[in-house]
Amino acid sequence: MIPLSKALNFGSMKYPAKRFLLLVIFSAASILSQGQNGLGAYPQNYFRNPLNIPIQLVANFGELRPDHFHMGLDIRTQGRENLPVYAAAAGYISRIKIEHYGYGNALYITHPNGYTTLYAHLNSFYPALADYIKAKQYKEQSWAQDFELPASLFAVNKGQFIALSGNTGGSAGPHLHFEIRDTRTGNNLNPQLFGFNLNDKQAPVIYKLFWYDRRYSTYQSNSKQISITKKDGAYTTEDKVVRVYSPVISLGITAEDINLSTPFKIGIYSAALWMDDSLLNAFKMNDFSYSDTRYINACIDYSKYIQGKTYVQYLAQLPGNHLNIFDTDAGNGIIILADTEIHQFKILVSDAYGNASTLAFKLQLNQSPSNFVYPSNVQALLPNQENTVNGKNVKVQFSKYAFYDAVPFVLSETNNINKSSASSYIGLYNYTVPVHDSFSVQLKTTLEANNYLRNRVVMQMISGTTKQIAKGRWDGDWMLAKFRRLGNVQLLIDTIPPGITTAGWKNGTTLSNASFLTLKCKDDLSEIDSFRAELDGKWLLFAANKDNFIYRFDEHCPPGTHTLNVTATDFAGNTTKQTFTFTN
């Protein structure tokens, strides 16, 4: 295994239990006070509830999600769409974003106090704004939009109607996604620190405790669970003394926050870890950007999540984790057991309103097992430096930000039995190891240089149950593409065009009572790369929602019989053209 190259040495300090408890209580009170100061550091009650119903959360800021932290509040809309959405404070609409997935329909309001609010998954915008956006879409012949607006164009007052809530983009059900950002830095801030009254008096719940052998990389050290129990309102371990067999360890927990106003369990705000009288690690979920939210994969036991959908949050900072949520006065969470004495530990888990749960226990070093020996075909890829992996038919380049800890990388190359293949089948180590940013993969094709099928070759990455297609760039016999997951990669020949079908109506029919028209467009390998519709020779605005493309009847489709020409193209360049007729 890859040994720990550097760790803080805390020595073998001994402190009486009473002194330990007093110090921890003082430190805990300090952290809770900082949480309250966090509330006071932001304007209280400046922003109003963006809906006219009580706030009931589906998700909060910092909640754990696949490849990202949740960056705002998900507010329930009572299972309904088209609830009025109101400006949280006075300002001006500064940006509009309309996308297939992600936010769906979203608007941003910049406020004079230095903050920006965001409202996402909307069904529609208020009339004057909707007309402006629609004119821009038709002028540019593009439904997808992302543009900024001047302060003079759409000023809004606090409580002004701005949109209707919905379920657009990457939404799994009707709700409003609401964010508060620092306008200057663009960083997302925790809205729960701005005085929204959620009447939260419930402490977080701690479910499980784990330890990891940190003499080696976290990608080689499987978690070992420590059984815990709750007594008299506090948590402790079932064993009076927890014994571990490594002198260098770290800890992780599964925990959630609860609130009587919602049936949903949401993410914790902060956690801290003490050994004896030393604060070893502490973090708070606040004030970081979307560009850094993928660091969630350094803050959790990624392999446990990928394989079992269980989130274990580390109480340690991996060497390649540069997210700025950690207390700079604390350690990195690495626990050095330099003796076989019994040591006192305490974990404090808090929500944004100061409600806290504690887990106190004793831990002791037991006999250490023998070291693991590396197989000869392993290449160690290290964090905070560029790494390259080369094989006979593959070249891979990772940036210095790619890995959070040392990776015992194994490369494999086998002949491809897939009849559509155009390269060897390449194994890029283990899909249960996260990669932070995009890395480049070059694969050598088995197709001759003059083979016309090269124009229909795509690169496919299979990462667990996830498949991703990329249209790469040719450089001689090599195709280059980029991915953000490890797994098995290959070149495939794709000659099958997308399919286009009607949904809820029939070609040639009369739609006199219909308010919208839907087409379903799907490809066998990937998402649709481009979609275009023309009504009687003129571009028509279709909104994308997963595999559905939806046109809502307006002045661009006057009464009569019409011809609708639709073109869809996949990532390999295969195109389907289809003509429909209808009368409205």
Given a cut of 70, is residue 25 above it in pLDDT?
no
Residue 161 backbone phi and psi in degrees, to 5: -65, 130
CA distance 432 to 408: 12
Query: Would you place residue 201 in the very low, low, confident or very high pLDDT band (cuts 50, 70, 90)?
Result: confident
SS3 assignment, position 264 = strand
Q: Look at 22-31, 41-50, 95-104, 141-150 and tell me which has the smallest mean pLDDT.
A: 22-31
Query: Would you place residue 294 in the very low, low, confident or very high pLDDT band (cuts 50, 70, 90)?
Result: very high
pLDDT digits (tens, 9 = 90+) for 211-265: 999 999 999 989 999 999 998 889 999 999 999 999 999 999 999 998 877 778 8
**Which pLDDT score, from 0 to 100, does residue 34 have?**
41
CA distance 500 to 511: 19
**Which pLDDT score, from 0 to 100, does residue 417 have?**
85
**Which pLDDT score, from 0 to 100, does residue 197 have?**
79
Query: Would you place residue 10 in the very low, low, confident or very high pLDDT band (cuts 50, 70, 90)?
Result: very low
**Which pLDDT score, from 0 to 100, does residue 16 have?**
32
Given a cut of 90, is residue 2 above it in pLDDT?
no
Q: Look at 171-185, 252-266, 289-303 and tell me which has the smallest mean pLDDT.
A: 252-266
Q: Look at 18-22, 52-56, 547-551 and tell me which has the smallest mean pLDDT.
A: 18-22
Given a cut of 50, is residue 151 above it in pLDDT?
yes
Q: How many helices (H) and strands (E) does the chain have?
A: 4, 47
pTM: 0.89
Query: Would you place residue 293 in the very low, low, confident or very high pLDDT band (cuts 50, 70, 90)?
Result: very high
Given a cut of 50, is residue 28 above it in pLDDT?
no
Q: What is the mean pLDDT of residues 326-345?
A: 95
**Which pLDDT score, from 0 to 100, does residue 372 have?**
62
Q: What is the mean pLDDT of residues 381-407?
A: 97
Query: Would you place residue 374 in the very low, low, confident or very high pLDDT band (cuts 50, 70, 90)?
Result: low
Given a cut of 90, is residue 487 above it in pLDDT?
yes
Percent of the chain with pLDDT over 90: 84
Given a cut of 80, is residue 103 above it in pLDDT?
yes
Q: Look at 194-203, 507-516, 540-549 and tell me which has the smallest mean pLDDT.
A: 194-203
Structural domains in the chain, CATH included, are 57-194 (2.70.70.10), 205-365 (no CATH), 379-493 (2.60.220.30), 499-583 (2.60.40.1220)
Query: Would you place residue 439 in the very low, low, confident or very high pLDDT band (cuts 50, 70, 90)?
Result: very high
Q: How high is the mean pLDDT of the chain? A: 91
Residue reference for tokens 């940006």: 95
322 vs 37: which has the higher pLDDT: 322
CA distance 274 to 194: 29
Q: What is the mean pLDDT of residues 161-172?
A: 94
Are the beta carbons of 556 and 538 closer than 8 angstroms? Answer: yes
Nearest Cα neighbor of 209 from 11, 363, 26, 317 is: 363
Given a cut of 80, is residue 379 above it in pLDDT?
yes
**Which pLDDT score, from 0 to 100, does residue 214 have?**
95
DSSP string computed for 163-232? EE-B--SS-SSSEEEEEEEETTT--EE-GGGGT------PPPEEEEEEEEETTB-TTT---EEE-EEEET
Query: Would you place residue 23 in the very low, low, confident or very high pLDDT band (cuts 50, 70, 90)?
Result: very low
**Which pLDDT score, from 0 to 100, does residue 277 have?**
87
**Which pLDDT score, from 0 to 100, does residue 26 have?**
35
Q: What is the mean pLDDT of residues 416-439?
A: 95
pLDDT digits (tens, 9 = 90+) for 301-317: 999 999 999 999 999 99
Measured in residues, the chain has a length of 584
